[in-house]
Chains A and B, each alone.
Chain A
Amino acid sequence: MNEAMRQTMWGFIFLLVDIRIISFDILPDWIGYLLVAFGCSKAFSLKAIRSFRHAQNTAIILLLIYIAVTIINISTGLSSAVDLNRPPGYSAAFYMTTASQTIHLLLVFWICSALHEYASGNGLSELSAKARGRWKGYLVCSTAILISISFIPNGDKSLALIVIPAAIISFILELLIINLLLNTAREAHKLEPSS
């Protein structure tokens, strides 16, 4: 379980870090989702918590979306690349970005739900409360950010400044989820030192 959680955690770290060399993302998000899918699959095979299976499936959907975007980027050339981080107006790319971010919200729900269930089942009440708390915070902030962004193309240019605080808040939220996964991995290691 320790290994599965660490794998999932590394997946989230890959999602968080964006290193580009001349527009080319050397840490594409699909690698992150692949690691999350593997980690959740491993966790499900060990603990049979259904939320891990849901998280795995959700990660696969996101993985496919990002692979499609990468293929489009390569086939159309980098100058006209579909960049999910810079949506132009209410275009297909804009809706694709929103869809992927909304599905990511679902992924976080299944992971927090699985960790909550795992912690409750092993008498780790503090970790269980933490999983529930992080999910609530993540849900409220992400929903507020996604709804705010939906107004940007219809509003004044200054409305686009929302993106800056939104990016900072999103970064902190993802760090909190990574921290939650790390805590779970440590607790799992304590419970099952041989793993």
Chain B
Amino acid sequence: MNKKPLIIALVLIITAYLGNGIYYDRMKLEEGFFLNHDYELITEIRGSSLFELHYLDNRGESEKISWISVPGLDFIRMNQSYIRNEGAYVFQEIRTFAFDSSYMTDEQMQSLEGVEINKVAVHYSNGQSKEMPIGSIRFIKDESFSKRGSEIVPLENYSSGSSSTGAGFNAARASESLTITDAFIRTPISFSDAFCFEVEVTGTSQDPHTGAVDRIHQGLQCKESSFPIQANKDDTVWINHMFNRKAVPAAYTFATFSIQVTGMRENGESFTHTTHIRHQPSLSGDDIRSIIKQRRNAE
């Protein structure tokens, strides 16, 4: 029987496997790495979760990491890890490492004030360890937290929301007439090119939720806030923000930070109102490819 069709078939099969194998190898990472984190954490806040770190690796390879520690800060302990959006990507996976503060004493928590973490030690199942950059985790003290209690604050947070478009809002009700004189990001962030915010005051007659949600869905564009801004009692002060997802890799940063609004109360006293923003980007397959491409270009 004629061998030619068999030879052609074998050549096609070998070519298909070699071609796909080469492509697969090109898409694989030589080594996993941590995505960028920019966390501003407040030492007065004692939730069960302290922070989460997100590690990008080839599928099935992130499990080689047994645990993670913070050099010099042994009391910060990792309590669990899991695959984020399991099966969402063809070649890679994101493993999230969660750190718990429940083991820490108040003294240990307070001792973190002013501390900045830029690296963690990764411990592999084969016994090896390696330090890797993670971005920045800054611990700060928030005076406004210590002052709170029965005291009536001029602005009371009552609602917040965010969407996958990168837009979000935080709403606070004015408990008295006040003047807002400024608003700023408390500590510098690494992704300032990809983030904007605006301050807006709406009256009680307006439905604040509907307006904000509409704006978010329309793809909020930050407006220049012109201070001072007057707010009457029961008005809603909106701090609307947007992460520009086109500004990569900044928009891929996992972030927690604060925006502070300063102003004058009715009695002439100054006040500072703090709003916390949490950014947990939902990364698509294209985002992952873009992150890897930029990392390779940077190397």
Chain A residues within 8 Å of B, Cβ to Cβ: 88-90, 95, 98, 102, 105-106, 109, 112-113, 116, 132, 135-136, 139, 142-143, 146-147, 150-151, 153-157
Contacts and interface: CB of A to CB of B under 8 A. Distances in A.
Given A95-B17, A150-B13, 14 more contacts: A90-B20, A105-B6, A106-B6, A109-B1, A132-B1, A139-B6, A142-B9, A143-B9, A147-B13, A153-B24, A154-B24, A154-B90, A157-B87, A157-B90
3 closest Cβ contacts across the A-B interface?
A: A150-B16, A143-B9, A113-B1
Given A154-B24, A156-B90, A147 B16 contact: yes
Contacts, number: 59
Contacts of B17: 95, 98, 150
Given A143-B12, A154-B90, A112 B1 contact: yes
B60 interface: yes
B9 A150 contact: no
Nearest to A114: B1
A98 B16 CA distance: 11
A146 B20 contact: no
Given A90-B20, A146-B13, A116 B90 contact: no
Given A90-B21, A98-B17, A157-B87, A139 B5 contact: yes
Contact of A151 (B10, B20, B60): B20
Nearest to B88: A157
A60 B60 CA distance: 35
B61 to A, nearest CB: 11
Q: Identify whether the interface residues of B are mostly helix, strand, loop, or mixed.
A: helix
Nearest to B8: A143
A102 B16 contact: no
Contacts of A142: 9
Contacts of B90: 154-157
